[in-house]
A and B are shown apart, each in its own frame.
Chain A
Amino acid sequence: MSLEEKVKNIIVDKLGVEPDEVVEEASFVDDLGADSLDLVELIMSMEETFDLEISDEEAEKILKVKDAIEYIKAHT
């Protein structure tokens, strides 16, 4: 499974959205209906899946699907 697919799977699972909604430009809050605790869960799940530690400052910048993919690409 590609990195992009893994990230999208996490988002589908955590936010309960349809896979085709998870496009790169989608905003977690505005387009995918995430609340603040959902965002925390997403970050935790990405940390677990990719064995990362994402600081709060960095996490705050992960607003869209593509932000997450780019962050993980740059840090794995």
Chain B
Amino acid sequence: MDKESQVVVVTGGSQGIGRAIALRFAGQGASVYFCHYDPDDSESKKTEKLLAEAGGQGKGYKVNVADKDEVKAFFKALVQEAGRIDVLVNNAGITKDGFAVRMKEQDWDAVVDINLKGTFFCIQEAARAMMKQKQGRIINISSVVGAMGNPTQANYAASKAGVMGLTKAMAKELASRGILVNAVAPGYINTQMTDILSDEVKQAFIDATPLGKMGEPEDVAAAVEFLASENSRYITGQVLHVNGGMYM
């Protein structure tokens, strides 16, 4: 597939890892449709500008991925406009940390709804289009926490482990249609999500990382790009860990 005509969807694409992924594809000339759920459009507008500067086309949409109707409408409009979906990157995710014994039900639900159910809803819609095309790539952003666990992140760890299981089930279900489904599990990456952590926790993460430093969003984007490329055509149902060796 000619990269210039690739249609790429990135959820949670207005900032952080999602933005880096969107930029990576835009740099190859792809048409990038990203969604976000920021209270205002400022980050999204900034990302659109960066995508255009990177040489691609990019458009941001406000979509709550945990809302099935919104997801349906977004993909319907997208397929109508772009005609196809080559790559779906399920990156939208949130944290609401706290000790499990004190965790509020709504904090559990919010995290699992966006990180896991939202990923599922987007796969459902994109897979319909990809099945017709008989090709496609789905890349889900999981987390090292989904493999290792982490105190105060029962909701997040469960959702990200769920994404790994979902990835494998979808890989098996869609393989016969030429659709490859993989996950990327980032470790400690320099984003807003990790910026809020205490210095103590940050240092503990770095100490637990053999490469001795945090990763950048671009490190994750490079792995996603690989899993969307021809070079990974025999890889499906895998979790690619991008974590500086924190988890092996």
**Chain A residues with a Cβ under 8 A of chain B:** 35, 37, 41, 44
Contact B176–A35 (Cβ < 8 Å): yes
CB proximity to A under 8 Å, residues B60-110: none
Is B131 interfacial (CB 8 A cutoff)?
yes
Contact A37–B128 (Cβ < 8 Å): no
**Chain B residues with a Cβ under 8 A of chain A:** 128, 131, 173, 176-177
Contacts of A35 in B (CB 8 A): 176
Smallest CB separation, A42 vs chain B (Å): 12
Bound: A76/B177 CA distance, A: 30
Contacts of A44 in B (CB 8 A): 128
Q: Is chain B's interface secondary structure helix, strand, loop, or mixed overall? A: helix
CB nearest neighbor in B for A38: B176
Provide a sorted-by-A list of 6 A–B residue pairs whose CB atoms are within 8 angstroms: A35-B176, A37-B173, A37-B176, A37-B177, A41-B131, A44-B128
Smallest CB separation, B228 vs chain A (Å): 23
Contacts of A37 in B (CB 8 A): 173, 176-177
Bound: A44/B131 CA distance, A: 11
Bound: A25/B176 CA distance, A: 27
Bound: A39/B102 CA distance, A: 46
CB nearest neighbor in B for A37: B176
Bound: A68/B175 CA distance, A: 27
> Which residue, A35, A37, A44, has most C-beta atoms of chain B within 10 A?
A37
Bound: A51/B176 CA distance, A: 27
Closest 5 CB pairs of A and B: A41-B131, A37-B176, A44-B128, A37-B173, A35-B176
Contacts of A41 in B (CB 8 A): 131
Contacts of B128 in A (CB 8 A): 44
